[in-house]
Amino acid sequence: MNPVFYTLPIALVLDFVMGDPHWLPHPIRWMGTAIARCEPRFRRLIADPFWAGTALALVLIASATGATLLALKVAGLVHPTARTIVEIVLIYFALSARSLGTAALTVHAALRQPDLEAARCRLAMIVGRDVNSLSRAGIIRAAVETVAENLVDGFIAPLLYAAVGGAPLAMAYKMINTLDSMVGYKNKQYVLFGRAAARIDDAANYIPARLAVPLIAAAAHWIGSKGTAAFKTALLDGRHHTSPNAGYPEAAFAGALGLRLGGPNLYGRQLVAKPYIGRNRTPARRRHILKACQLMYVTALVAGVCFYGLQLMLHNLGL
């Protein structure tokens, strides 16, 4: 049987069942190490911070793609089955639905305690904003927002790229996303150095973020939530975000859950005046984190079916 018929489904099952065990060597962590080690070298080699950051991004994206192609080639020389196993494992490593859900649920569990410090500590591990001043409702909204946004970064986008270009394209995307998360900031240190990484990440997520809207709406309808509201809210408020992409899944989640997300937040002690997303003002409750995780998992399942169909269609067309 041609590996195209089972590579993606097995990788999906592995992600849903195993998540991201910390005892496994993980290429995404290697990517982070490579970025941290290469940044000072590129800054020394190229005086202009913009061009230094651009060179870093292009070299590391090309390196991730090349290393993946080489690993598949070497495995294929050993045995075709070895190549298939390597591809399955690499695609599995590119996905993170289970780990995202687990992280959000630790915040949900910590909110059982009257003291919010435990919940803030758990939340700080998965968001970039300052959490020290967040109220209970603020913690819940932040957890829902990160589930919505990271559904695209951690699952929909890498799965789409894996369906189109296999493990090499999925790994290229993960390097792009890791670069953005490490150097794509607008502070003094990275506003020029990380600009190319941020722009490449915006381009890579442009289609996946918009594809996420009908997928989330379909999933919301399936679980008896507000599928139509999810779609309409994404159309109305998806552009109301400082990111060109993150607003679309967040708005879809806001519509499906009946919440208002977004708004001003502190990042590195600096107030960032983000617009509000969503028209409803239902009080944020602890159960909304559970509903967000449920919506995320069902959306991931819907995306898996759709992108598997896309992969089979491309295969049948000889692409």
- Tokens representing residue 44 in the block: 């020394």
pLDDT at 157: 98
Domain with 308, as residue range(s), is: 3-316
**pLDDT, mean over the chain:** 92
How far apart are the two ends of the chain, measured CA to CA in Å?
Answer: 18
Residue length of the chain? 319
The answer to whether residues 183 and 194 touch, using CB atoms and an 8 Å cutoff, is yes
**Residue at token pair 């602890």:** 286
- Minimal CA–CA distance to 231: which of 244, 218, 247, 245? 218
Distance CA 112, CA 43 (A): 46
The answer to whether residues 34 and 28 touch, using CB atoms and an 8 Å cutoff, is no
Distance CA 176, CA 25 (A): 20
Which segments in the chain show pLDDT lower than 50? none
pLDDT at 271: 58
The answer to whether residues 256 and 225 touch, using CB atoms and an 8 Å cutoff, is yes
Number of domains in the chain: 1
pLDDT at 65: 98
- Minimal CA–CA distance to 20: which of 87, 143, 102? 102
Per-residue DSSP letter, 271: E
pLDDT at 272: 63
Q: Is the dihedral of CA 130, 135, 141, 144 positive or negative?
A: positive
Letter string b/e over residues 247-259, b meaning 16 or more CB atoms within 10 A of that residue's CB: bbbbbbbbbbbbb
Distance CA 309, CA 313 (A): 6
Other beta carbons within 10 Å of 162: 27
Instruction: Encode pLDDT of 99-140 as tens digits.
Output: 999 999 999 999 998 889 999 999 888 887 777 888 898 899
Say what the pTM is: 0.94
pLDDT at 264: 62
Distance CA 304, CA 312 (A): 12
pLDDT at 263: 72
- Minimal CA–CA distance to 204: which of 231, 237, 169, 236? 169
The answer to whether residues 269 and 235 touch, using CB atoms and an 8 Å cutoff, is no
**Residue at token pair 């630790």:** 106
